[in-house]
């Protein structure tokens, strides 16, 4: 066999490396802006076009580069920020790998204009395929302007995987928001397709928070400050009532770097104790500074993750700092008993109150007196085999046709949760919540399909302040949300008004529910934008079911027998009455044969 192993060419090597560093337009923004910060700029402007797919341009007023440095900077492993491996253990800049520009120039068309204080003329480079194709002196202000055009033009697979423009803009805006919070002494401006999305003039932290998040949040901020030897925590947290459904408002910075760190977020949540429900997260701006040699920032290609040399020390400092701040504002905080609270919630995990039936099992008189039959009734296999004709379409249609004119005699409701009724098919056990949810869901889906959702105009529209990334997103899907029955009006800078809601949700909504709705839309923006346009409701099924579920009768709600009968009749009139939108059974049928079997009558 001939020699097979070859050395890859420089462009290919850099393209492969770029795969790790540059995922999407927001990564380009991140790398360029971090370079501008490292270059001691105090004014940074970011221009993007088409969500950054067409253009990402960052202009700074930092120290700039001399011509030779500029040409050198686009190579791999070229940096001015570290000299050797020892420096890796004490990193004072955001960059250190000498990789970002090399990666960017290998996957986009790039132009650099840069000038230092000392030189009279600046340098203008045009780079194609990773190589400088034009190098001219130019007059320019002190600082650097780097324009990155047509990202992934030469990596079609990557380009294809980029998300919709609103999603990419959201990632970029969120990133710039973090940088603006991390560096309040730098002024940031973000412009998308000539529209100003975010302006954060330099000032103190609270003025940055006001500029980005609005006055309401700024006013709710409680200072946090604690020091232990060289570990220092500062920033602001907010009272528990400002909690959100999404984690997006946990802003954590370690030595000036926005990070996601489980130790820190767990410590924060523990600091809040039971004052915040387990499925919610506080709004927090937390800055943690420690000696650079006690934190490893080199554990992830995009430097988002970090590791501490003493996780326990960090945890206890942050937990107590949060608790003390809350307590000094007059709150009494109770500790949580569960170690790992705050598992991320999924759309499908909409809470339904668990009936007490299972909990009380041990004290049930049945369990001691007649354990055998009790177990039979609760046996899973039998339930599926015998009681649920769900999969059996023949039975399904049969029941449905009887459904219209069937006689249903509601015998009662147990635990204010399960309706018991007698019908021709046997004894029905119906979960009132699952049933009502299913009815509301089907109604709502049908209305959406016909584009005629019945809406409830709110007597008092709910106004919500959004951060710039959310605002852009919601604005971009405003029209799609009409289809769901939500009428949203843009109201001043970063503020929206919810004017109407789908009738299935009732006649009014609380402020916190309104915020949750925004979070739900945010989490599913690309589905809402793309799939609703294609009328592919399957993908947005979970969202629909959340809204449909809001006003449904819950387990534990007391309803009349007449209402129970109506619910059963309406349910049985549906095409698939036996499963709720979340896939749980709505009705369990104990047919005569089975009841006889339970009483051992079939062996007579």
Contact residues for ligand ATP, defined by CB under 6 A: 31, 35-36, 39, 60, 62-65, 73, 78-81, 95-102, 144
| Smallest separation (angstroms) from Mg ion to the CB of 35 | 4
- Residue whose CB is less far from ligand ATP, 143 or 502: 143
319 contact choice in Mg ion, ligand ATP, none (CB below 5 to 8 Å, kind-dependent): none
- Write phi, then psi, for 544 (nearest 5 degrees): -55, -40
| Residues near 301 by beta carbon (within 8 Å), at least 6 away in sequence | 20, 21
Q: Is the dihedral of CA 82, 88, 94, 96 positive or negative?
A: positive
- Residue whose CB is less far from ligand ATP, 30 or 53: 30
- Residue whose CB is less far from ligand ATP, 36 or 552: 36
Of 99-107, 292-300, 473-481, 538-546: span binding Mg ion (CB under 5 A)? 99-107
| Smallest separation (angstroms) from ligand ATP to the CB of 522 | 29
Collapsing DSSP to helix, strand or coil, 503 comes out as helix
| Smallest separation (angstroms) from Mg ion to the CB of 95 | 3
Rule CB under 5 A: say whether 352 interacts with Mg ion: no
| Residues near 250 by beta carbon (within 8 Å), at least 6 away in sequence | 265, 268, 281, 282, 283, 284, 286
Residue 407 CB burial class (10 angstroms; 0-12, 13-18, ≥19): exposed
| Smallest separation (angstroms) from Mg ion to the CB of 272 | 36
| Smallest separation (angstroms) from ligand ATP to the CB of 91 | 9
The residue at minimum Cβ distance from ligand ATP is 95
Q: What is the helix (H) or strand (E) element at residue 86, kind and residue range?
A: none
| Smallest separation (angstroms) from ligand ATP to the CB of 39 | 3
Per-residue burial over 470-484, b if 16 or more Cβ lie within 10 Å, else e, is bbbbbebbeebbebb
- Residue whose CB is less far from Mg ion, 100 or 321: 100
| 1 Cα distance to chain centroid | 53
Tallying the residues shown for the chain, one arrives at 604
- Residue whose CB is less far from ligand ATP, 81 or 247: 81
- Residue whose CB is less far from Mg ion, 100 or 218: 100
Rule CB under 5 A: say whether 27 interacts with Mg ion: no
| Smallest separation (angstroms) from ligand ATP to the CB of 115 | 10
Rule CB under 5 A: say whether 35 interacts with Mg ion: yes
What's the CA gap between 441 and 139, in Å, rounded? Answer: 64
Rule CB under 5 A: say whether 95 interacts with Mg ion: yes
Q: What is the helix (H) or strand (E) element at residue 47, kind and residue range?
A: strand 43-49
| Smallest separation (angstroms) from ligand ATP to the CB of 301 | 10
What's the CA gap between 59 and 39, in Å, rounded? Answer: 12
Binding Mg ion (rule: CB under 5 A), the pick from 22, 100, 146, 252 is 100
- Residue whose CB is less far from ligand ATP, 253 or 578: 253
| 216 Cα distance to chain centroid | 22
Collapsing DSSP to helix, strand or coil, 485 comes out as coil
- Residue whose CB is less far from ligand ATP, 98 or 201: 98
- Residue whose CB is less far from ligand ATP, 69 or 475: 69
79 contact choice in ligand ATP, Mg ion, none (CB below 5 to 8 Å, kind-dependent): ligand ATP
- Residue whose CB is less far from Mg ion, 111 or 530: 111
- Number of residues this chain uses to bind Mg ion (CB under 5 A): 3
Rule CB under 5 A: say whether 122 interacts with Mg ion: no
| Smallest separation (angstroms) from ligand ATP to the CB of 473 | 28
Q: Are strands 295-296 and 409-414 parallel, antiparallel or unpaired?
A: unpaired
Of 30-38, 127-135, 257-265, 542-550: span binding Mg ion (CB under 5 A)? 30-38
468 contact choice in ligand ATP, Mg ion, none (CB below 5 to 8 Å, kind-dependent): none
| 497 Cα distance to chain centroid | 22
- Residue whose CB is less far from ligand ATP, 63 or 181: 63
97 contact choice in Mg ion, ligand ATP, none (CB below 5 to 8 Å, kind-dependent): ligand ATP
Contact in structure between 67 and 95 (CB atoms under 8 Å): no
Rule CB under 5 A: say whether 41 interacts with Mg ion: no
Please list the residues that pair with 501 across neighbouring strands. Answer: 456
For 601, how many CA atoms within 13 A lie in the half-sphere containing its CB? 7
Helices 262-272, 311-328: axis angle to 10 degrees equals: 30
| Residues near 310 by beta carbon (within 8 Å), at least 6 away in sequence | 294
| 211 Cα distance to chain centroid | 23
What's the CA gap between 52 and 39, in Å, rounded? Answer: 23
| Smallest separation (angstroms) from Mg ion to the CB of 209 | 27
| Residues near 329 by beta carbon (within 8 Å), at least 6 away in sequence | 222, 239
98 contact choice in Mg ion, ligand ATP, none (CB below 5 to 8 Å, kind-dependent): ligand ATP
Site residues (CB under 5 A) for Mg ion?
Answer: 35, 95, 100
């Amino acid at each position: 066999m001939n020699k097979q192993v070859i050395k890859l060419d420089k462009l290919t090597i850099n393209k492969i490396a770029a795969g790790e560093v540059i995922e999407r337009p927001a990564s380009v923004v991140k790398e360029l802006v971090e370079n501008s910060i490292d270059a001691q700029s105090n004014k940074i402007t970011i221009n993007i076009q088409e969500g950054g797919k067409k253009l990402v341009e960052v202009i700074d007023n930092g120290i700039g580069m001399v011509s030779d440095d500029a040409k050198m900077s686009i190579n791999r492993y070229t940096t001015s920020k570290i000299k050797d491996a020892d420096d890796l253990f004490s990193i004072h800049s955001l960059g250190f790998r000498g990789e970002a520009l090399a990666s960017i120039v290998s996957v986009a068309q790039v132009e650099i204009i840069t000038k230092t204080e000392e030189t009279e003329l600046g340098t203008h480079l045009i780079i194609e395929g990773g190589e400088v194709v034009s190098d001219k002196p130019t007059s320019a202000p002190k600082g650097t302007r780097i324009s990155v055009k047509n990202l992934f033009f030469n990596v079609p697979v990557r380009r294809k995987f980029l998300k919709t423009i609103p999603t990419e803009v959201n990632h970029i805006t969120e990133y710039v928001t973090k940088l603006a919070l991390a560096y309040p002494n730098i002024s940031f401006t973000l412009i998308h397709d000539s529209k100003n999305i975010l302006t954060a003039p330099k000032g103190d932290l609270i003025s940055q928070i006001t500029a980005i998040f609005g006055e309401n949040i700024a006013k709710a901020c409680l200072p946090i400050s604690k020091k232990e030897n060289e570990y220092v925590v500062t920033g602001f947290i907010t009272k528990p009532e400002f909690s959100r459904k999404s984690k997006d408002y946990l802003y954590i910075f370690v030595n000036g770097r926005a990070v996601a760190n489980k130790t820190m977020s767990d410590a924060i949540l523990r600091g809040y104790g039971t004052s915040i429900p387990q499925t919610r997260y506080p709004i927090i701006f937390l800055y943690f500074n420690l000696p650079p040699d006690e934190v490893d920032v080199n554990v992830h290609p995009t430097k988002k993750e970090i590791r501490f040399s003493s996780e326990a020390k960090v945890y206890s400092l942050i937990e107590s700092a949060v608790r003390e701040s809350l307590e000094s504002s007059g709150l009494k905080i109770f500790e949580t008993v569960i170690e790992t609270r705050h598992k991320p919630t999924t759309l499908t995990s909409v809470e339904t109150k668990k009936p007490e039936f299972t909990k009380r099992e041990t004290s049930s008189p049945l369990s001691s007196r007649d354990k055998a039959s009790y177990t039979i009734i609760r046996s899973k296999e039998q339930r599926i085999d015998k009681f649920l004709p769900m999969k059996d379409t023949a039975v399904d249609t049969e029941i449905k046709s009887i459904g219209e004119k069937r006689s249903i005699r509601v015998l009662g409701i147990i635990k204010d949760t399960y309706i018991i009724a007698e019908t021709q098919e046997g004894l029905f056990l119906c979960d009132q919540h699952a049933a009502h949810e299913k009815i509301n869901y089907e109604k709502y889906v049908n209305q959406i399909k016909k584009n005629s959702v019945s809406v409830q105009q709110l007597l008092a529209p709910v106004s919500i302040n959004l951060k710039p990334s959310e605002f852009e997103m919601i604005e971009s899907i405003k029209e799609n949300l009409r289809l769901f029955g939500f009428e949203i009006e843009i109201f001043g800078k970063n503020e929206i008004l919810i004017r109407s809601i789908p009738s299935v949700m009732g006649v009014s909504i609380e402020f916190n529910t309104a915020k949750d709705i925004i979070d739900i839309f945010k989490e599913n923006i690309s589905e809402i934008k793309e799939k609703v346009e294609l009328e592919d409701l399957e993908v947005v099924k979970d969202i629909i079911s959340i809204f449909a579920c809001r006003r449904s009768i819950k387990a534990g709600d007391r309803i009349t027998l007449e209402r129970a009968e109506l619910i059963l009749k309406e349910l049985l009139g549906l095409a698939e009455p036996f499963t709720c939108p979340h896939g749980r059974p709505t009705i369990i049928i104990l047919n005569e044969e089975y009841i006889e079997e339970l009483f051992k009558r079939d062996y007579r």
